[in-house]
Chain A
Amino acid sequence: MTHTSHIHDDGSHHDHDHPHAEISVGEKPGYYAVMETAVRELLIAKGLITANDIRHQLEVLDSRTPALGAKVVARAWVDPGFKARLLADGRAACEEFGISFYDDTQLIVLENTPAVHNLIVCTLCSCYPRPVLGLPPDWYKLKPYRARAVSEPRVVLREFGTIIPDDVEVRVSDSTSAVRYLVLPMRPAGTENLGEEQLAALVTRDAMIGVIPVTLDQEVGQ
């Protein structure tokens, strides 16, 4: 993240009179960015962490997107055995599926049914099933969602355009630093002929948070 020397691993070299498109060049970092660099470099200098730890974790963060969660959901829709294992132990089933958990968290998968709609929140901060969904959106971390999801979930859902009928129970699960949740949305009608990959393409991040359903016209609706 800091200025790097102009040595390229691949041994390439070119004229460096032009500015790189990379971050950092020339622009003066803000107070907090300077603080972050300083803390990181001090800890590295003390041998408490390594630059490689940080580089590796940046790569891990880049590798986690809602597409992973979508694959898990699609597999659960087509494979009842996997779904049963997923609902019994979310983390173990995801690991079996090849998704590593880089943090010390448990995953509870909550199944939406015609009778129950699940919604996840972290009222205290921003806990989120990051190994399977990546980083949370800003609105998930901001006060309106955190404050109101637990007290008036139906109103909050309406703000996402989701109307839950009165006879459907709404369950809100509040995440903690150790326990994270993922919503298993309902498979939409009319998808009987779709393959697993096509199904996964329908599943959005917001559906796995529980603020919207999965619909066939997802890409149009979004």
Chain B
Amino acid sequence: MSGSEDLVRRLPNDIGGFAAGSVQRVEHDLLPWEKSCHALADVLDFTKIINTEEKRRGVEALGETMIGQLSYYERWIVAFANILFAKQILSPTELAMKMAEVEARHVDAGDARG
């Protein structure tokens, strides 16, 4: 196989059988936001807003570069945002504004604490 057909046959998630390094038994306790992201994912699944398979495909659709550079829950939340845009539940502008507001909240809190 000369190359490009592999890209067609295999989406970025589909790594079963590939060569890879040895297994390092790494683990970490989830950060609070990661745990919240997990709970959000479950709730989105229960409420049929984004099911597990849509989430998996949403991560896949991020492409290899992003998949390679973002951590596990970073991929999830970005995939959720994209899926919610595609479903027209959220708009990119709406999310950008809300993110600015959330950030400002923390800046204020930091200032208040001196």
Interface residues on A, range: 35 or more
Give the chain A neighbours of B31 by CB distance below 8 A. 33
**Cα separation A57 to B19 with both chains bound (whole Å):** 37
Q: A1-B33, A34-B102, A103-B42 are in contact. Are A147 and B15 (CB under 8 A)?
A: yes
Q: How far is the CA of A142 from the CA of B21 in the complex (A)?
A: 10
| Complex interface: chain A residues within 8 A of B73 (CB) | 32, 36
Once the chains bind, are A144 and B40 in contact (CB under 8 Å)?
Answer: no
In the docked arrangement, what's the CA distance between A141 and B30, Å? 13
Tally of B interface residues using CB under 8 Å: 62
Contacts of B113 in A (CB 8 A): 19, 25-26
Decide if the interface of chain B is mainly helix, strand, loop or mixed: helix
Quote the shortest CB–CB distance from B25 to chain A (angstroms).
5
| In contact, A53 and B110 (Cβ under 8 angstroms) | no
Quick one: closest A residue to B25, CB to CB?
A139
Does A159 interact with chain B (Cβ within 8 Å)? yes
Question: CB distance A53 to B77 under 8 Å?
Answer: no
Are A139 and B27 touching (Cβ within 8 A)? yes
**Complex contact B17–A49 (CB within 8 A):** no
Within 8 A of B (CB), among A1-53: 1-3, 19, 23-26, 28-30, 32-43, 46, 48-49, 53
A-B contact list, 5 entries, CB within 8 Å: A34-B99, A36-B33, A38-B101, A39-B80, A41-B102
| Chain A residues within CB distance 8 Å of chain B | 1-3, 19, 23-26, 28-30, 32-43, 46, 48-49, 53-54, 57-58, 60-61, 102-104, 121, 123-127, 135, 137-139, 141-151, 156, 159-160, 174, 177-178
